Amino acid sequence: MEDLRSLTREERKQLLREMGQPAYREKQIFKWICRGASSIDEMTDLPASLRESLKERSSFEGPEIAAVQTSSDGTRKYLLRFSDGNCVEAVFMRYDYGNSLCISTQVGCAMGCRFCASTIGGKVRDLKAWEMLSEYTSVCRDTGLPINHVVLMGIGEPFDNYKEVCRFLSDIHDPDGIGLSLRNITVSTCGIVPKIEAFGRDFPQVNLAISLHASDQQEREALMPIAKAYDIDALLAACRAHGEATGRRVTFEYTLIEGKNDSEKSARALASLLKGMLCHVNLIPLNPVAETGLKSSGRERAEEFRSYLEAHGVPATIRRRLGADIDAACGQLRKNTSTEVKR
């Protein structure tokens, strides 16, 4: 039986027409979905007879919040379990400008980046758009707080699940539901070039972040297998075209790894690559993942790297480190874990 949330809005309208119901019922159902309703019975503005009929024709399950960890800095990491038993993690963060949620787009990840915990064990499956939306609604409901920024930087490669990610963006932006501004959403990709080009056409208002993490092709191939499919020159050409077409700057995420990509030579090469581009570099001192054996360059080296880029005309900042004490920082999320503890 198909989950009621998995249907598009038009498909739900068609279902309701077949049931002899007026079209406005779909808007009521959509509002309940966006409020994070956990069952059809919660939809109290629907007639009881309609609720019973919907339960006979469709399912409405999960995800459940299996566990929550709270960091000393107030960051919360959620372990969400879907009805098939698969789990993902989402991270709630507080900033001066509002609350932000980092969501996952896949169970596991196939990209194989050497420094990232999310790819350990590979990809299990894509998430559906409604499952991504339910990460947002579940955390909103649990915290009781508004979430006005969303980043697709959790487990998975968003552009490897492009169709469902696009549907999620449309759903969360829909004014009949959450109505989140597209300008308050950031999608991060490791560099699937054809999808960068499509994304600029489909969602020009959504912020684009590129997981770059290297300053030349050889360095990037050593850290990110995707570089063998799309080389750094093709990637940067797509990013330049994206900025020119949308008028929006591209953010380049650059994880600093001791002895791998943190030398002055790397800083010099990166500045040369990006100079003159509408962009910003977000430097991330590597967050520890035991299985990788890699070490962080540390804050002092990050400051030196940032200063070099700034001095050579490339805007750069160092990402604020949130949730590292609960393995919720950048690169630490996993598709499953047995060490989570309920709050």
pTM, to two decimals: 0.92
Query: In terms of CATH architecture, what is 4-57?
Result: Orthogonal Bundle (1.10)
Known catalytic residues are 89, 330
Question: What are the CA-CA distances from residue 41 to residues 3, 37, 54, 55, 242 (Å)?
Answer: 14, 9, 10, 9, 45
Per-residue pLDDT of 227-241, as tens digits, reads 999 999 999 999 999
The predicted pLDDT at position 343 comes to: 43
The predicted pLDDT at position 324 comes to: 56
Per-residue pLDDT of 48-61, as tens digits, reads 999 999 999 999 98
CATH numeric code, 90-326: 3.20.20.70
- Walk across the sheet containing 207-211 and list its strands: 64-70, 76-81, 87-95, 98-102, 149-152, 185-189, 207-211, 250-256, 279-285, 316-318
102: part of which helix (H) or strand (E)?
Answer: strand 98-102
pLDDT top residue among 74 and 171: 171
User: For residue 341, what pLDDT band results from cuts at 50, 70 and 90?
Assistant: very low
Q: Is 161 helix (H, G, I), strand (E, B) or coil?
A: helix
Do 100 and 147 form a contact (C-beta atoms < 8 A)? yes
Q: Where are the domains of the chain?
A: 4-57, 90-326
Do 75 and 92 form a contact (C-beta atoms < 8 A)? yes
What is the rounded average pLDDT of the residues 243-250? 96
